[in-house]
Structure 1
Amino acid sequence: MYLIQGLVLGILLWCAHLGESCFPVHPTSPPPTSSPKAEITAECLQCICKVESICNLEIGCDSAVEPEKCGPYQLTEAYWEAGGSHGEDWRSCAQDKTCAEDTIKCYLGQHDIFDSPTCEDWARFYHGGPDGMNSASADTYWNRVRAQGCSELN
């Protein structure tokens, strides 16, 4: 039994390393049951990136905040894990824009709660998660994203 679990985990880790899968690499997390209905647009991701770091690709990690945040999207280790644990490790993935975007897309896609999501839906969910997307903090965050040139339509 443990041998089979180890093999499955090894395969999932290998797939995540290749960046070709949104399946979680942790055996306690169930894989998604269907493909996401929609994916966040490149334009919306760019607006979020601008809010998080002025899309600074050289920003590195900020260990002065708790939890530590890294890269142009200021990802935390928990967000990276929830998004499928892409790349070699969370810090290097978070600092690589493409790897971070794959993580974000997988995280948002796993929660597939919108029929026709807008950038506002994605930004609120990115910031507040499933339980905080309608919070005052998410309102403020969306206003910051919208100020970067994104509307609720893209």
Structure 2
Amino acid sequence: MGALLQFLLPIIFFTLVFSQNDLQEEFPPGWTEKCIGCMCEASSGCNQTLECIEQNEVKYCGVFLLSDVYWQDAGTPVLQGDDPTRIGAFERCVRDPYCAARAVNQYIQRYAKVLDIKR
């Protein structure tokens, strides 16, 4: 039962996040909140208290362990009222599960055609 709960919690969490926001209409074909929940679980175990880690001079932060370059490729999403040019905007966004999920979704949106996601 523990393994099932560990698998389902991120999916439930992101389902609730997306149901309260407007992201669900932005998913590319074949991409769902279930996918993003699995990515969260695979990246960090959806650990919201995880500090940024540095590997090979690249900093990875948040539940998806996103890098600054990934965040920039995603269009530099920010928390409401924040500015992408402000120092720390990257860290503030990717440490917030909703903003981080938006970054992942925008990244997938941007590269969906390049990746040729099957319908």
TM over 0.5: yes
Equivalent position of 1:139 in the other structure: none
When Rg is computed on C-alpha atoms for both structures, the one with the higher figure is 1
Whole-angstrom distance in 2 between the partners of 1:105 and 1:48: 11
Equivalent position of 2:112 in the other structure: 112
Whole-angstrom distance in 1 between the partners of 2:117 and 2:69: 26
Q: Taking structure 1 as reference, are residues 44 and 116 closer, same or farther at Cα in structure 2, changes over 3 Å only?
A: same
Contiguous gaps of at least 5 residues in structure 2? 1-21, 83-88
Matched, 1:98 2:98: yes
Give, in angstroms, the shift of residue 60 of structure 1. Answer: 2.3
Give, in angstroms, the shift of residue 110 of structure 1. Answer: 1.0
Matched, 1:41 2:32: yes
Equivalent position of 1:50 in the other structure: 41
For the 8 Å contact 1:70–1:76, the answer to whether it is kept is: yes
Matched, 1:81 2:72: yes
Give the superposed CA RMSD: 2.2
Aligned length: 84
Matched, 1:71 2:59: no
3-state SS of 2:50 partner: coil
Q: Taking structure 1 as reference, are residues 40 and 64 closer, same or farther at Cα in structure 2, changes over 3 Å only?
A: same
Q: Indicate the percent of aligned positions where both proteins have the same amino acid.
A: 24
Instruction: With the length of structure 2 as denominator, give the TM-score of the two structures.
Output: 0.61
**How far does the alpha carbon of each residue in 1:107-154 deviate from its partner, in whole angstroms, 9 at most, with x for none?**
11112223535xxxxxxxxxxxxxxxxxxxxxxxxxxxxxxxxxxxxx
User: Which of the two has greater strand per residue?
Assistant: 2
Give, in angstroms, the shift of residue 83 of structure 1. Answer: 0.3
Instruction: With the length of structure 1 as denominator, give the TM-score of the two structures.
Output: 0.48
